[in-house]
Structures are given as C-alpha cells and as structure tokens.
Chain A
Amino acid sequence: GAGVSQSPSNKVTEKGKDVELRCDPISGHTALYWYRQSLGQGLEFLIYFQGNSAPDKSGLPSDRFSAERTGGSVSTLTIQRTQQEDSAVYLCASSLSGTYVGTGELFFGEGSRLTVL
C-alpha cells in the first residue's frame, strides 16, 4: 500500500510476556518515528531512526523497550516483560529526510493497540 502500515492492529498479552510491533513505512522515507499514545497524555516520543541508525532514542521509557530498523525500511519495536503501564497505542510515522527534516509532515500509521492484562 501507499501508506504507513502497522501490525498487529490489536494485541492483548499477559503481564511478563514479550511483544513485537511492526512498522512498514512509506517507500523512500528515510526517517521513521515511534510514538506512544496513552489516554489523555497526547503523543509521547519514543525513538527516531534515520536510515538504520537511531540518533535519538531518548524517549524509550526503560531498558525493556528496544527497536531496530533493517534495510532502511521495516522497523520493529520490542517490549520485553510487559507491564500493565505499557498498555497504550503505539504509533509509527515516517517522513522524507534531508532538507525536509523539521519542515516536512509526518505520515502516521493507524497504530498498534497494546493491552497488557
């Protein structure tokens, strides 16, 4: 498809289990972002990729969270030993890079809703 694709759209897991969330950005977009959206909290930045490198991962809340990107395309966000406070919608976005960074728009996927029981 032409847009940002995320999977799964919904994930219910038990506390302590590991989960993987996938993001497939728009073809040609070198910048990729992960945000977390909790009720009433807006969008919380998690990590930013430029190509396969992550120059800013300052938003990852703990060492249970990690992310990688391969081939300058697909990205996976992994949450180990999930906790109930990890329940949220995880949004992925991509954008053109270079001169467009900062002035360009982000294109968002529909998100992955994670529920930790």
Chain B
Amino acid sequence: AQSVTQLGSHVSVSEGALVLLRCNYSSSVPPYLFWYVQYPNQGLQLLLKYTSAATLVKGINGFEAEFKKSETSFHLTKPSAHMSDAAEYFCAVTPSSGGSYIPTFGRGTSLIVHP
C-alpha cells in the first residue's frame, strides 16, 4: 500500500526566507506525486506534479519540488516566501502501475509566513 508522510504539521518562516515543506513516500515502485495547496475556506488546487519525467518539477507561484528516489522524498521548496503563500499544503501519491489510482493524501503542513 502507498502512503505519504509530511514532516511537521506547521512550518513558520519569515517573509523572504526559504520555504521547505517535507514529503516522504512509501511505495514498492516509484509512484506519481503531487503537491496541492489549500487557502482558507477554499478547495485544494494543484501546485505541481511528478509523473516520471523530469525529477525537478516547477509549479505555480514559484514553487518547485525534486523527486529523489534514493531518499523516497518529494520536498516542496520556494526560494523566497511571500505573505500570500500562507496556506495548508498537501502531498499526495498515486501508484504509477497497477493498483488503485485514487490519490492518498498526507496530513498536511500549515505554512505560516511572518512579516
């Protein structure tokens, strides 16, 4: 069975600082991986996804993530945080072959940005 673990339920950074949100997956074969963002009182929207092409994936709003098979990780980064980045971030996984294609989500990480 596939799963994702997001380390840290809350991450706090200063405006302009590096953002790093961690996601590790557990899967017998490299899966497809996604990051979604949820702003207050809104649904989730896709930031970026990895589907076995380039390991460094660029998404919207300046975010990017790197798939590292050796570390079973897909951490989300942004060089410089903006106040508008404050939101809940979810990592999700689906199998790349066989099994159910229903995404499994992590518990989420709340990003807090201080002025």
Task: Select which of A43, A102, A111 is within 8 A of B94 by beta carbon.
Answer: A102
Contact present for A109 and B43 (CB under 8 Å): yes
Q: Provide the A88-117 mask, 1 if CB < 8 A to any CB of B, else 0.
A: 000101000000011101111111000000
Tell me how far the C-beta of A34 lies from the nearest C-beta in chain B, rounded to whole angstroms.
11
On whether A43 and B32 interact (CB within 8 A), knowing A4-B43, A102-B101, the answer reads no
Residues of chain A within 8 A (CB-CB) of B32 are: 102-103
On whether A110 and B41 interact (CB within 8 A), knowing A33-B102, A43-B90, the answer reads yes
A interface size (C-beta, 8 A): 22
Residue of B nearest to A108 (CB): B43
Contact present for B106 and A42 (CB under 8 Å): yes
The verdict on B100 contacting chain A, using a C-beta distance below 8 Å, is yes
Residue of B nearest to A47 (CB): B102
The verdict on A45 contacting chain B, using a C-beta distance below 8 Å, is yes
B interface size (C-beta, 8 A): 25
8 A Cβ contacts from A9-64 to B: 33, 35, 40-43, 45, 48, 56
The verdict on B82 contacting chain A, using a C-beta distance below 8 Å, is no
**Residue of A33, A41, A105 with highest tally of chain B CB at under 10 A:** A105
On whether A42 and B107 interact (CB within 8 A), knowing A102-B32, A105-B46, the answer reads yes
8 A Cβ contacts from B62-98 to A: 90, 94-96
8 A Cβ contacts from A53-90 to B: 56
Contact present for A40 and B43 (CB under 8 Å): no
8 A Cβ contacts from B24-38 to A: 32, 34, 36
Q: How far is the CA of A43 from the CA of B3 in the complex (A)?
A: 12
Task: Select which of B36, B100, B104, B106 is within 8 A of A56 by beta carbon.
Answer: B100
- The 8 lowest CB-CB distance pairs between A and B, nearest first, are A108-B43, A42-B107, A102-B101, A43-B105, A105-B46, A108-B44, A103-B51, A101-B101
Could you list 6 further interchain pairs (A-B, Cβ under 8 angstroms) beyond the known A103-B49, A108-B45, A109-B43?
Answer: A40-B107, A45-B105, A102-B101, A105-B46, A106-B36, A106-B103
